[in-house]
Copies of this chain bind each other. A is one copy, B any other.
Amino acid sequence: MDDSMISLKDMGSFHIGGREIEVKERPVKEVVLTKNGVPVQFDPNGTYQVEQMYVQYFIPRDLRGKIPLLLWHGGSLTGATYETTPDGREGWLNYFLKRGWAVYNSDAVERGRSGWSLHAEAFQDEPIIFPKKDQFERFRIGAGKGSYNKDRDKRRILQNNQFPVEYFDDFTRQIVPRWAKSDDATLAAYMKLVEKIGPCIIVAHSQAGPFAFRVAQALPDQVKAIIAVEPANGGDTQYSERLKNTPILTVYGDYISQDERWTHIRGKTMAYFQALRSEGGMVDILDLPELGITGNSHLMMMDRNNLQIARAIQEWLEKRGFYR
């Protein structure tokens, strides 16, 4: 493996899934779309494509991963999650490409290049976006509530944090609006993607965790493994039996026991894993602090030791027989 290069036999993108809606009885307006441009009639009535998902793919020249990796980002984020770190180091996308995995990196429905709908016919609720303090305090970068300050020097950071905190403000440029009631549309597009790709491994961060489990429940022959990085939740326990042949690796960072909300999320998800195990499921827990890897935030794919964690995932994939 030449770590200095990425050799691809193909790369490209596509949009998948979604549906058509009809918008009716809205007023026509006249709008100018570019400075000093020609005014155009803007008639919003008509047919729209909505709830599609954007996917960018990279196929290495020397394939060593037996099946593709699907990278699914977390809430308020896009596929940019995996491309880089806020301080400009390599992200997990490059790491896995260099090791010979075909990688499909997507923007969940309504985020990023997937686009979003203005019309209530598609999205019934209002988009929301969180201010900077929320990411700082909720993603285990700052030391909990009240730790954020607009003035960088006054921010209280969790001790020995691996997140590149001096680039926190740069990180916040990645944040995009989200909708609270679009889970079904998001799930439907992820289903379409897995149906298109066939046998695959899902790497799911945070909000994407429950989507990965639910897609695997529905398509257990296609989803051959799940790497759930601090999943926001598990799947549905009534379908646990369907996942018994899908090995799962879950990864947790540091500071969780100090944080009531994360303790609750992990506890609930661990109960789900317990249910999977009782049905014969294979769940491996990678608790980073237990291995002596300390200081990881919720955004471990951007943390200073992000490639150390990628390496642990790579080793697990090898051990589970997905690599040649």
Residues of A bordering B, CB below 8 Å:
4-15, 18, 20, 23, 31-38, 40, 42-49, 52, 54, 56, 61, 75, 78-80, 83-84, 88, 90-91, 94, 107, 112-113, 115-118, 127-134, 138, 150, 169-170, 172-178, 180, 183, 207, 210, 232-233, 261, 264-265, 268
Contacts and interface: CB of A to CB of B under 8 A. Distances in A.
A84 B13 contact: yes
Contacts of A210: 34-36
Given A15-B170, A52-B173, 20 more contacts: A4-B9, A5-B9, A13-B80, A15-B80, A20-B150, A34-B183, A34-B233, A35-B210, A37-B232, A38-B265, A42-B128, A44-B128, A46-B131, A47-B133, A49-B172, A49-B175, A78-B115, A113-B113, A115-B176, A115-B177
Given A12-B90, A84-B14, A132 B173 contact: no
A83 B61 contact: no
B75 A34 contact: yes
- Main SS of the interface on chain A? mixed
Contacts of A40: 138, 261
Nearest to A214: B35
B113 A49 contact: no
Q: Give the top 10 A-B pairs by smallest Cβ distance, nearest first.
A: A46-B131, A15-B173, A52-B173, A115-B176, A112-B113, A13-B83, A6-B8, A12-B84, A49-B172, A34-B232
